[in-house]
Structure 1
Amino acid sequence: MPHIELRALQDDDRDAAFRAVSASTSAWPRAAFDDRAAFDRWSDDAKVDAHVIVEDDAVVGLAAALDVDGEREILLAISPSAHDDAPTEALRLLTSHEAERPLYACVSVDDQPSHAVLARIGFVEHERDGDDVVYVLPPTLE
């Protein structure tokens, strides 16, 4: 497996991150952008903590956490050219970075790969909202 890491989104990463998000087959509703300007506005929002997903020194996607209706939600968008294990490893890294629980994720009903990645990390279905499924990573007892 290649080396996967997250790093804060920097200006030099924006073109590659936008290309990866645009190429992604993921259907995370809060990561849908019509153009680069919309992506820049979204990623510059103070509510968004955006990271690029780096696979062996190449930007292959975007992982982010943001506040939605007072709850912490994560999202992930990865280029189809990324290694098969990249989504799971990136999500594992993101959830370890985000200490707040519960942690939510919202994906399209039809996005089966994202459903599988979330389940591998421990997310469980919380509710259905139209064409979307809301998942939660509940708090753990220590």
Structure 2
Amino acid sequence: MPHIELRDLRDEDRDAAFAALRDSTSTWPRVSIDDRASFDRWVDGDGASVHAIVEDAAVVGVAAALDVDEDREILLAVSPHAGDEAATEALRLLTVREPERPLYACVSADDDPSHAVLARLGFVEHERDGADIVYVLPPTLE
């Protein structure tokens, strides 16, 4: 199994991270990134915590968390060239870094791979928002 990790997005990661975002099947209804300049503005802004998804030393995606309407929401985009477990492991690592619960994710209704990854980690459908589905990772009882 390849080694998957999240690290803070570095300047040298940006080309690969943007390429992974552009090539992924993921859609981010809450964030609009049309080109590399808008990606850089988003990363440099103060609204999101952005991480590179690294698989065996290669950047294969981008993961982020941001505040949306007073809730914490996560975003994930993984290159189609990444290993089968990269998205699930990256999401698991992101949920560990983001201890706030409930934790939300919003994906396009037709983004089947994202629905499966979210379900594997315990996210459940919370509501429908037009053509998007909002998932929630509820708090756990300890």
TM range (shorter): over 0.9
Q: Distance in 2 between matches of 1:12 and 1:86?
A: 20
1:1-142 correspondence runs (5 A)? 1-142=1-142
Structure 1 counterpart of 2:77, one-letter code: A
Q: Which runs of 4+ in 1 moved over 6 A?
A: none
TM-score (norm 2): 0.97
* C-alpha displacement of 1:32: 4.4
Over residues 18-64 of structure 1, what are the superposed CA-to-partner deviations in whole Å (9 max), with x where a residue is unaligned? 01100101123235421101001111121100000000000000000
TM-score (norm 1): 0.97
**Partner secondary structure for residue 27 of structure 1:** coil
Unaligned runs of at least 5 residues, structure 1? none
The answer (yes or no) to whether the contact 1:127–1:134 under 8 Å persists in 2 is yes
Aligned residue pairs: how many? 142
Q: Distance in 2 between matches of 1:3 and 1:61?
A: 14
The answer (yes or no) to whether the contact 1:21–1:31 under 8 Å persists in 2 is no
Structure 2 counterpart of 1:114, one-letter code: S
* C-alpha displacement of 1:69: 0.8
Q: Distance in 2 between matches of 1:62 and 1:5?
A: 11
Q: Percent identity?
A: 74
1:26–1:87 distance in 2 versus 1, CA, 3 Å: same
**Partner secondary structure for residue 63 of structure 2:** strand
Unaligned runs of at least 5 residues, structure 2? none
Q: Distance in 2 between matches of 1:5 and 1:31?
A: 23
